[in-house]
Amino acid sequence: MNDKNIIIVCLIFAVLGITTLNFYSIEPKEVKICEIKEGDYVKITGYIQKLGLKRDKCRNILEVKSITINDGTGHLDVVAFGKVREDLTNYIKNYYPCSIKERDKVQVIGKISTYNGKYQIILEDMDNFKLIEKLNFDRDIYLSPKPTNIYASKYGKTYHTSKDCPYGKKLKEDNIIYFYSEEDARELGYKKCKWCSKNANR
């Protein structure tokens, strides 16, 4: 076989190889967390056990910092970087009727790696993360960017409803947060000031 024929044969095999790769896709293995090994390309379905979020001063979600899922056999960290993390943040915070939260059921596809001795799944494409079932319908609660009559120290767990409250007056303006409603304050774990309760009609 001369050089020309060899080149033609090589080109044919190259074209066939590229065509095959275009039609061939690696299917992830659907497994339990207890079955995973480093290097596996897997599909995991579980519940969000922990969702770490970075928020602004009004509690708007700025970034998803961490996600841990649990399928009943173990827990696994979901890791995303760059544009994928941005897309993941937008998907979680903009989900309707309320943002994706802990206890919601999700499915993740990715490659298993280890970091500091722990398994993690790398999310390389936003299409590989999806909500399977919305189970947590807790309201999304935000703080008011403008002063209201319901306020508290961002370092405490007591809220005030009177501008005349002697305890509320001690708060420094830079440390005050404002609520849209008393219900919001209570749902975030705040208790009403005793002075404000006793003097509610003043």
- Strands 75-79 and 129-133, sheet pairing: unpaired
Percent residues over pLDDT 90 in the chain: 85
Could you tell me if 34 and 127 lie in one domain?
yes
Assigned token pair, 49: 């056990």
* Neighbouring residues of 143: CB distance < 8 A, sequence distance ≥ 6: 57, 58, 59, 177, 178, 179, 180, 184
Whether residue 73 sits in one domain with residue 169: no
Q: How far apart are CA 160 and CA 182, in angstroms?
A: 9
Q: Are residues 168 and 98 in the same domain?
A: no
Write down the mean pLDDT value for the chain: 91
pLDDT at 30: 94
Same domain, 191 and 109: no
Under the banding of pLDDT at 50, 70 and 90, the label for residue 20 is: very low
The residue to which tokens 């390389």 are assigned: 124
77 and 125 fall within a common domain: yes
Q: Provide the pLDDT confidence category of residue 12 given band limits of 50, 70 and 90.
A: low
Determine, yes or no, domain membership for 112. yes
Please say if the pLDDT value at position 110 is more than 90.
Answer: yes
Q: How many domains does the chain have?
A: 2
CB 137, CB 80: distance < 8 Å = no
Q: Which structural domain range is residue 70 located in? A: 29-133
Most distant CA pair in the chain: distance in Å?
A: 103
Does residue 56 register a pLDDT over 70?
A: yes
Please check whether residue 173 lies inside any domain of the structure: yes
Tokens of 42: 């897997």
Asked whether residue 15 is domain-assigned, the answer is no
List all residues 6 or more positions away from 170 whose beta carbon is below 8 Å from its beta carbon: none
User: Is 17 inside a domain boundary?
Assistant: no
- For residues 62 and 122, membership in a common domain is answered with yes
Q: pLDDT: is 18 or 69 the higher one? A: 69
In this structure, are 76 and 120 located in the same domain? yes
* Beta-ladder partners of 118: 115
* pLDDT computed for residue 24 by the predictor: 42
- Check whether residue 94 and residue 55 sit in a common domain: yes
Distance CA 196, CA 177 (A): 17
83 within a domain of the structure (yes/no): yes
What are 89-108's pLDDT values in tens digits?
999 999 999 999 999 999 99
